[in-house]
């Protein structure tokens, strides 16, 4: 087995690749132009010459330019549709402006003048690319063992290390991981979070396929599967901790499960994916960045990846359901297929197995799909998914940094989204640690056992174009340098284009530069989509109740004793007896964990929520919806607790101004963590005091313009 590539560009020297000094007096740019038709396949043309106006941006269908000539394509035989459609679909984005740096800026702490620092010692496979991005914006790399004991501005870790609290000890540092996020993004946890929201807001969370968690939901799945037996429905079975497609298979009846007692997720198989003209199934990897949780701030990357299957798709049936190259889009799986097409240039990628999201949007648009709406729907999926996960992210943070002010956590998250034939996006999974590497690994073949010992890695231009700006902008974002970077870049462009040294520059040139200076990351919450989704921030009351009765220092699960206390203090004993609490808690525990034994570890937040749902249905049976019942229960519990003198000091709502016409957005925050109110017991006073202006960089402790909450 081998992979199909047109030419190989060794990746070994990519970090040293230099571009000749630009002739323009502007920040140096890398402009990667899709080669004109008939150019040799020599990968990427890097140019610093005067850019042409972007008459055809990535999302706009090109009218003037001749299409590239048809090339040898492994899927030619499989294509359907008219020649015209094929030509449209294969048209490359005319130019992709890809800047690895905006150059001349080396950012420094405003007050001290010292450079920003990053520690990538624990970044593992992402170290090279993160270090390169940091270096190019002037962030100094320091190692964990550096002599200067000053805390770093940013720590980039591959996982949440057990000693993260020790390493990232200063509240003004930032770290690229949220405690607990890996667990929360696992298939089953994610399903629990989304299930809770589906029960409260059924129409808003239709984007996630119907799912069962085994072994707990085996009976439900068997009942459902048997009823649907005649309908030729298929299900996809995924091990909970699986990744990269490992252990996944399809069934069309519950009796075909290989090991029904294994911890796994069964999902309705979405059998009507939107296909390209080449008949291949694909999905999108969209990158989001949670910049902070207190207050919540979410960004999306403009560019993402489309990952294609390597064999033609048809609806699953008895003869094809085992062909994973047709049903699973995972890169790690498909790269082993002979038909995997590695692209060495932006021109190539239009037919590659990995394409730019913008290219595929362009291709879809040419087939009449409303990509603006699609992009809007995808961004809403990102926001809603993070909102579903938020209660537990907050709880994990509180638990992890119980004695400390805690650093500012941020995280790049990968969202895998598939598109149905009717253009509707479906969330498949959330990846808390998406790969940020920018190379492609060649697979040995029987004829060429060359790379058996040391796998040969080559540059992957698609990964590079997506991930380098993603990492760079994430660094700028968490250091609060985005505005500075992009407004200064704009000014510099204006200056250059009006400079007497560049007499032949036109308004088009100016527009070109402006287009390129667009940040790669754009805010989707609270600005932009906050007003559309703030009603989904409903679980704060439940989080608050949970926090009153859970011993957060020891656990993020509520014990049976805690549950009984809650019932007592909230005057709910007439609604549910102690015996019933025992039984209900055991039932929920089984539902969540598949564990028949006693409630050893207590109930996690979504278990508590299920308990609240149950109580609210008993207490307020006349209310028309679960949401209405829960609203009533929240009010009832609030009033009862106030009677006991318990006040909601842990979570407060605050209005956050947005730039949207829809006005401010209300969201909930942890007031104890605002403005350093929460003093560490093992106080951070041994650390050097931070200069005032630098304090503004930490959104856990200072809201960067967002409202502060006074206790
Ligand atoms: P993994 O974490 O192992 O990659 P995923 O949940 O991402 O598991 O599934 C792997 C691939 O299987 C996806 O990229 C997608 O192509 C396909 N897939 C997953 N779930 C579904 C589904 N419900 N319907 C159709 N295809 C799916």
- Name the residue among 256, 309, 304, 260 with its Cα closest to residue 282: 309
Helix (H) or strand (E) holding 250: strand 249-251
Minimum-distance ligand 1 atom for the alpha carbon of 330: 14
Average pLDDT of every residue of the chain: 77
Domain boundaries, the chain: 533-686
Most confident of 452-461, 509-518, 644-653: 452-461
The finding on whether 244 has its CB within 6 A of some atom of ligand 1 is yes
Task: Using most ligand atoms within 8 A of CB, pick from 241, 245, 314 the residue to mutate for ligand 1.
Answer: 245
pLDDT mean over 261-267: 92
Give me the residues paired with residue 665 across strands. 656
pLDDT(373) > 90:
yes
Residue 231: which pLDDT band, with cuts at 50, 70 and 90?
confident
The H helix count followed by the E strand count for the chain is 20, 25
pLDDT mean over 115-131: 94
Residue 686: which pLDDT band, with cuts at 50, 70 and 90?
very low
Residue 82: which pLDDT band, with cuts at 50, 70 and 90?
very low
**Residue 434 Cα to chain centre, angstroms:** 8
pLDDT mean over 533-560: 91
Minimum-distance ligand 1 atom for the alpha carbon of 270: 24
Tokens of 54: 């972007």
Instruction: Say if CB 395 and CB 178 are below 8 A apart.
Output: no
- Name the residue among 444, 436, 443, 438 with its Cα closest to residue 459: 438
pLDDT(63) > 60:
no
- Residue 225 Cα to ligand 1 midpoint, Å, equals 19
**Buried b / exposed e across 91-109, counting CB within 10 Å, b at 16+?**
bbbbbbbbbbbbbebebeb
Question: What's the confidence (pLDDT) of residue 661?
Answer: 66
The finding on whether 345 has its CB within 6 A of some atom of ligand 1 is no
The finding on whether 234 has its CB within 6 A of some atom of ligand 1 is no
Minimum-distance ligand 1 atom for the alpha carbon of 245: 3
Helix axes 127-136, 461-478, angle to 10 degrees: 60
The finding on whether 344 has its CB within 6 A of some atom of ligand 1 is no
Q: How far apart are CA 395 and CA 539, in angstroms?
A: 12
Torsion of CA 676, 682, 686, 688, to 10 degrees: -30
Question: What's the confidence (pLDDT) of residue 404?
Answer: 81
Residue 433: which pLDDT band, with cuts at 50, 70 and 90?
very high
Q: Whose CA is nearest to atom 18 of ligand 1?
A: 328
pLDDT tens per residue across span 630-640: 999 999 998 89
Q: How far apart are CA 56 and CA 10, in angstroms?
A: 31
- Residue 245 Cα to ligand 1 midpoint, Å, equals 7
Q: What percentage of the chain reaches a pLDDT higher than 70?
A: 70
The finding on whether 267 has its CB within 6 A of some atom of ligand 1 is yes
pLDDT(685) > 80:
no
The finding on whether 239 has its CB within 6 A of some atom of ligand 1 is no
Torsion of CA 478, 481, 482, 487, to 10 degrees: 170
Q: How far apart are CA 495 and CA 510, in angstroms?
A: 10
pLDDT tens per residue across span 240-262: 877 788 899 999 999 999 999 88
CA distances from 441 to 26, 247, 448 (A): 36, 22, 14
- Residue 328 Cα to ligand 1 midpoint, Å, equals 6
- Among 148-162, 247-261, 413-427, 648-662, the range scoring the smallest mean pLDDT is 648-662
Question: What's the confidence (pLDDT) of residue 422?
Answer: 95
Other CB atoms within 10 A of residue 47 CB: 15
Q: What is the DSSP string of 416-457?
A: EEEEBTTS-EEEEEEESS-----EEEPPP-SS-GGGSSS--E
The finding on whether 334 has its CB within 6 A of some atom of ligand 1 is no
The finding on whether 326 has its CB within 6 A of some atom of ligand 1 is no
Task: Using most ligand atoms within 8 A of CB, pick from 233, 330, 424 the residue to mutate for ligand 1.
Answer: 330
- Among 229-233, 366-370, 618-622, 654-658, the range scoring the smallest mean pLDDT is 654-658
Question: What's the confidence (pLDDT) of residue 207?
Answer: 98
pLDDT(320) > 90:
yes
The finding on whether 694 has its CB within 6 A of some atom of ligand 1 is no
pLDDT(124) > 50:
yes
- Among 100-104, 603-607, 636-640, the range scoring the smallest mean pLDDT is 100-104
pLDDT mean over 119-128: 94
pLDDT(40) > 70:
no
Residue 532: which pLDDT band, with cuts at 50, 70 and 90?
confident
The finding on whether 270 has its CB within 6 A of some atom of ligand 1 is yes
pLDDT(17) > 90:
no
- Name the residue among 157, 605, 478 with its Cα closest to residue 165: 157
pLDDT mean over 113-130: 93
Q: How far apart are CA 668 and CA 534, in angstroms?
A: 10
The finding on whether 248 has its CB within 6 A of some atom of ligand 1 is yes
The finding on whether 67 has its CB within 6 A of some atom of ligand 1 is no
Question: What's the confidence (pLDDT) of residue 168?
Answer: 87
Instruction: Say if CB 160 and CB 355 are below 8 A apart.
Output: no
- Name the residue among 137, 91, 145 with its Cα closest to residue 119: 145
pLDDT mean over 172-177: 94
Residue 704: which pLDDT band, with cuts at 50, 70 and 90?
very low
Which one is predicted more confidently, 709 or 93?
Answer: 93
Question: What's the confidence (pLDDT) of residue 496?
Answer: 56
Question: What's the confidence (pLDDT) of residue 512?
Answer: 55
Q: Whose CA is nearest to atom 8 of ligand 1?
A: 245
Residue 451: which pLDDT band, with cuts at 50, 70 and 90?
very low
- Residue 310 Cα to ligand 1 midpoint, Å, equals 15
Which one is predicted more confidently, 440 or 359?
Answer: 359
- Among 351-365, 515-529, 611-625, the range scoring the smallest mean pLDDT is 515-529
Question: What's the confidence (pLDDT) of residue 256?
Answer: 95
pLDDT mean over 608-635: 97
Tokens of 298: 């979410």
The finding on whether 269 has its CB within 6 A of some atom of ligand 1 is yes
Question: What's the confidence (pLDDT) of residue 212?
Answer: 96
Q: How far apart are CA 405 and CA 15, in angstroms?
A: 37
The finding on whether 416 has its CB within 6 A of some atom of ligand 1 is yes
- Residue 433 Cα to ligand 1 midpoint, Å, equals 16
Which one is predicted more confidently, 286 or 453?
Answer: 286
Which one is predicted more confidently, 218 or 651?
Answer: 218
Residue 627: which pLDDT band, with cuts at 50, 70 and 90?
very high
* Look-up of token digits 């000539």: 69
Residue 32: which pLDDT band, with cuts at 50, 70 and 90?
very low
Instruction: Say if CB 22 and CB 29 are below 8 A apart.
Output: yes
pLDDT tens per residue across span 128-174: 999 999 998 899 998 876 666 788 999 999 999 988 888 888 888 99
pLDDT(679) > 50:
no
- Residue 210 Cα to ligand 1 midpoint, Å, equals 13
- Name the residue among 270, 294, 290, 291 with its Cα closest to residue 282: 270
pLDDT(5) > 60:
no
- Residue 101 Cα to ligand 1 midpoint, Å, equals 34
Question: What's the confidence (pLDDT) of residue 35?
Answer: 32
Q: Residues in the chain, how many?
A: 711
- Name the residue among 225, 220, 222, 215 with its Cα closest to residue 252: 225
Which one is predicted more confidently, 431 or 503?
Answer: 431
Most confident of 2-11, 203-212, 484-493, 501-510: 203-212
Task: Using most ligand atoms within 8 A of CB, pick from 185, 248, 311, 419 the residue to mutate for ligand 1.
Answer: 248
Q: Whose CA is nearest to atom 2 of ligand 1?
A: 243
pLDDT(410) > 80:
yes
Instruction: Say if CB 286 and CB 212 are below 8 A apart.
Output: no
Question: What's the confidence (pLDDT) of residue 143?
Answer: 81
Q: Whose CA is nearest to atom 15 of ligand 1?
A: 328
pLDDT(213) > 90:
yes
Q: In what order do the strands lie in the sheet with 174-175?
A: 140-141, 117-119, 154-155, 174-175, 408-409
pTM of the model: 0.81
Question: Which sign does the torsion angle of CA 311, 316, 322, 328 carry?
Answer: positive
pLDDT mean over 616-621: 98
**659 CB-side CA count, 13 A:** 7
Q: Whose CA is nearest to atom 20 of ligand 1?
A: 428
Question: What's the confidence (pLDDT) of residue 62?
Answer: 31
- Among 54-68, 392-406, 478-492, 553-567, the range scoring the smallest mean pLDDT is 54-68
pLDDT(22) > 80:
no
The finding on whether 243 has its CB within 6 A of some atom of ligand 1 is yes
Which one is predicted more confidently, 179 or 647?
Answer: 179
Most confident of 242-251, 328-337, 646-655: 328-337
pLDDT(515) > 60:
no
Minimum-distance ligand 1 atom for the alpha carbon of 269: 24
Which one is predicted more confidently, 92 or 271?
Answer: 271
Q: How far apart are CA 582 and CA 569, in angstroms?
A: 17
pLDDT(91) > 90:
no
- Among 219-228, 384-393, 425-434, 507-516, the range scoring the smallest mean pLDDT is 507-516
Q: Whose CA is nearest to atom 9 of ligand 1?
A: 245
- Residue 525 Cα to ligand 1 midpoint, Å, equals 27
């Amino acid at each position: 087995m081998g992979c199909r590539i047109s030419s190989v560009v060794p990746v070994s020297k990519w970090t040293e690749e230099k571009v000749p000094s630009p002739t323009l007096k502007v920040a140096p740019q890398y402009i990667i132009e899709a080669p004109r038709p008939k150019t040799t396949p020599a990968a990427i043309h890097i140019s610093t010459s005067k850019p042409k106006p972007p008459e055809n941006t990535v999302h706009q269908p090109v009218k003037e330019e001749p299409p590239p000539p048809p090339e040898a394509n492994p899927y030619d035989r499989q294509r359907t549709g008219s020649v015209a459609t094929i030509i449209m679909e294969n048209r490359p984005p005319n130019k992709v402006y890809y800047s690895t740096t905006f150059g001349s800026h080396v950012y420094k702490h405003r007050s001290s003048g010292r450079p920003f620092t990053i520690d990538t010692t624990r970044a593992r496979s992402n170290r090279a690319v993160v270090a390169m991005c940091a270096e190019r914006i002037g962030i100094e790399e320091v190692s964990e063992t550096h002599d200067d004991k000053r805390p770093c501005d940013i720590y980039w870790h591959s996982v949440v290390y057990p000693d993260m609290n020790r390493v990232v000890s200063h509240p003004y540092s930032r770290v690229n991981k949220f405690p607990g996020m890996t667990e929360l993004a696992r298939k089953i946890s994610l399903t629990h979070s989304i299930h809770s929201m589906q029960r409260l807001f059924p129409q808003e969370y239709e984007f996630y396929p119907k799912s069962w968690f085994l072994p707990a939901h085996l009976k439900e799945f068997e009942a459902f599967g048997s009823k649907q037996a005649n309908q030729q429905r298929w299900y996809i079975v995924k091990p909970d901790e699986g990744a990269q497609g490992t252990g996944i298979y399809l069934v069309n009846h519950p009796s075909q499960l290989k090991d029904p007692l294994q911890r796994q997720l069964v999902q309705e198989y979405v059998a009507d994916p939107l296909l390209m003209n080449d008949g291949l199934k694909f999905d999108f990897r969209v990158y989001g960045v949670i910049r902070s949780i207190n207050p919540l701030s979410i960004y999306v990357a403009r560019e993402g990846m489309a990952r294609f299957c390597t064999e033609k798709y048809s609806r699953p049936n008895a003869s094809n359901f085992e062909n994973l190259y047709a049903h699973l889009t995972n890169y790690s799986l498909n790269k082993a297929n002979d038909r995997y097409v590695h692209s060495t240039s932006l021109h190539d990628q239009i037919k590659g197995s990995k394409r730019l999201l913008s290219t595929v949007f362009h291709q879809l648009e040419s087939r009449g799909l409303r990509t603006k709406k699609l992009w809007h729907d995808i961004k809403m999926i990102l926001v809603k998914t993070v909102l579903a996960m938020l209660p537990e992210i907050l709880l994990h943070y509180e638990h992890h940094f119980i004695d400390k002010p805690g650093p500012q956590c941020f995280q790049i998250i990968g969202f895998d989204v598939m598109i149905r034939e009717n253009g509707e996006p479906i969330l498949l999974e959330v990846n808390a640690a998406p790969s940020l590497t920018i190379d492609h690994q060649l697979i040995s073949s029987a004829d060429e056992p060359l790379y058996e010992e040391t796998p040969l890695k080559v540059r992957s231009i698609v990964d590079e174009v997506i991930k380098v700006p993603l990492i760079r902008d994430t660094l700028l974002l968490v250091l609060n340098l985005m505005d500075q970077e992009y407004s200064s870049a704009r000014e510099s462009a204006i200056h250059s284009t009006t400079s007497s040294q560049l007499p032949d520059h036109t308004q088009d040139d100016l527009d070109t530069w402006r287009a390129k200076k667009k940040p790669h990351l754009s805010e989707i919450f609270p600005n932009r989509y906050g007003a559309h989704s703030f009603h989904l921030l409903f679980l704060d009351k439940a989080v608050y109740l949970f926090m009153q009765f859970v011993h957060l220092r020891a656990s993020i699960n509520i014990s049976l004793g805690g549950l009984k206390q809650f019932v007592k203090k909230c005057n709910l004993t007439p609604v549910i007896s102690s015996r019933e609490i025992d039984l209900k808690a055991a039932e929920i525990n089984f539902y969540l964990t598949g564990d028949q034994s006693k409630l050893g570890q207590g109930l996690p937040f979504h278990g508590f929520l299920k308990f609240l749902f149950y109580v609210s249905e008993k207490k307020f049976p006349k209310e028309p919806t679960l949401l209405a019942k829960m609203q009533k229960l929240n009010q009832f519990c609030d009033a009862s607790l106030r009677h006991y003198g318990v006040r909601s000091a842990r979570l407060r709502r605050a209005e956050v101004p947005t730039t949207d016409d829809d006005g401010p957005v209300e969201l909930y925050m942890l007031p104890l963590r605002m403005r350093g109110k929460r003093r560490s017991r093992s106080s951070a006073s041994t650390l050097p005091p931070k200069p005032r202006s630098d304090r503004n960089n930490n959104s856990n402790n200072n809201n960067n313009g967002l409202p502060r909450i006074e206790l």
